Structure 1
Amino acid sequence: MDILYSTGFECEKKLPTTLEDLFNQSDVTYHYEGEERQLNVTYVRYFDQYMQEQGIYDAEKTGVPFYHIAALLILMNHKGYVQGNRLYYNDTDQFLQAFNQEDIPKALDIYQSLT
C-alpha cells in the first residue's frame, strides 16, 4: 500500500437548515494492488473533542488536526483494504474501534512525510 495523499476538513453549512457543520471529513488516496483508490470518512466533529478529553489525541500538541489522519488510521487498521470508499461514523464507540490508537504516531509520520 502506497499512500499518495491524506487530508481532511471541517464541513461547512451550505444551507441554513443543514447540519453539515457538525461533521468532519477525512480523505486518503492510496495505491492498492496497482489501483489508485480513495477512502472518505465522515464523522461527528465532537469526536475530536472527546478524544482530546480522553487523552487519545491532542491536535494542539501535534499541530495536526485529527481529520487529516482519521481516514489514514482506518485504512491502516484494515491493512490497506476497505470495502467501499465512503464510511460514516456517528457513534463514538464504533469510531474508536475503527482504528488502532497505537498507530497514531505512525500515521502522523506518514502524514508529515506527505506534506
Structure 2
Amino acid sequence: MDRTTNDRGDAAIYSGGYAYEDLYEAVHDGVYNGMPATELGADGWRKPWSGGNGGSCVEAKRLNDGRVALRQSTDPHGPALIYTNHEIATFILGAKAGDADFLLS
C-alpha cells in the first residue's frame, strides 16, 4: 500500500491502483457506512420518491461534503448507507437508463 494525497490534499491510501479515500474520509470525519442514521441528525431527510407501498420508503440526505446518506423510512434509527456523489449519480443515471429493471421482475 502507498499513502499519498488526493486532488483535495486529503490523505488517501492506494492498493493495487484502487484509492481507499472513502475509508480514510469515514474515519477522518466520523461518517461511515452503516452508522446509525440518527447520528446524522433529524433534519434534511427527504423521500425523493414514494409509491403505494404503505409509507415504506427510502429516505435520502445530502451531507455537507456532497456524499449522500440513505435510510429506510420505517427504521429511522437504523443504519445509514453512505454513498459518494459519483456513486449515487451513477446509480440514478443507470436506473433511468433501465440498468436496474431486473430488480423489478
What TM-score do you get using the length of structure 1 for normalisation? 0.23
Structure that is richer in strand per residue: 1
Find the structure with the greater CA-based Rg: 2
Larger RCO: 1 or 2 (CA < 8 Å, sep 6+):
1
